[in-house]
Amino acid sequence: YAATASFDSSQLDQGYHALEIEATDEGTFDQKFSFKVSDEEVSEIGDVLSHIDTYMGKYVTIKGVITAAFASTPVIQDETAGIHLYAECYDPPSFGLGEMWTIRGKVTTYSNLTELKLHYPEDAIKSDEMGEMPEPALKTASEIDESAEGLLVEIRDATVTAIDGSG
């Protein structure tokens, strides 16, 4: 069996909404979806992360400055938060510290790390202007947890006792 349903979201206020679908035939299908109505083309990273259930597996566009340029997972940060990027495309762009980029990608997780997966190099647009590096958040070692994920941080009074070569 196949079924089709549609609704008009043009009359909804901007913001987050929930939609519940229930269908009954030989069994019952019940599914809830959340979605956002917005005129904005670019999402704030903090908004995406704070509504992760809505965005997981969906494509979003963000804009920010590269705050860490690790080879396989650079980090981009805007005024609200930061997120790791993973370029799963042939001939990925080269990201440099302080560069401003607009990225369209799919929100995913890998090894409990939230990331924006870039599938096509044309979905990464480098600005002609350099971005302003944010001030690092001052943290102690005990304050480093999931809330610091993707943020530029500075840890004071820490001692490195070992380096794990696995990454």
Q: Quick check: 78 and 87 in contact, CB under 8 A? A: no
Count CA within 13 A, CB hemisphere, residue 94. Answer: 0
Confidence at residue 70, expressed as pLDDT on a 0 to 100 scale: 76
Confidence at residue 144, expressed as pLDDT on a 0 to 100 scale: 76
DSSP annotation string for 18-33: EEEEEEESSSEEEEEE
Confidence at residue 40, expressed as pLDDT on a 0 to 100 scale: 66
The b/e string for 27-61 (b: 16+ C-beta within 10 A; e otherwise) is: eeeeeeeeebeeeeeebbbbbbbeeeebbeeeebe
Strand 75-77 relative to strand 59-68: parallel, antiparallel, unpaired? antiparallel
Confidence at residue 140, expressed as pLDDT on a 0 to 100 scale: 80
The predicted-structure confidence for 44-84, as pLDDT tens digits, reads as follows: 999 999 888 888 998 899 999 999 887 778 999 999 999 99
The model's pTM: 0.71
- Nearest by Cα to 124 from 165, 144, 94, 79: 94
Confidence at residue 146, expressed as pLDDT on a 0 to 100 scale: 75
Confidence at residue 12, expressed as pLDDT on a 0 to 100 scale: 65
Confidence at residue 154, expressed as pLDDT on a 0 to 100 scale: 83
The list of the chain residues with pLDDT below 50 reads none
Confidence at residue 30, expressed as pLDDT on a 0 to 100 scale: 77
| Cβ-based neighbours of 65, under 8 Å, separated by 6 or more | 76, 77, 78, 98, 99, 100, 101, 131, 132, 133, 134
Rounded Cα distance, 115 and 150, in Å:
9
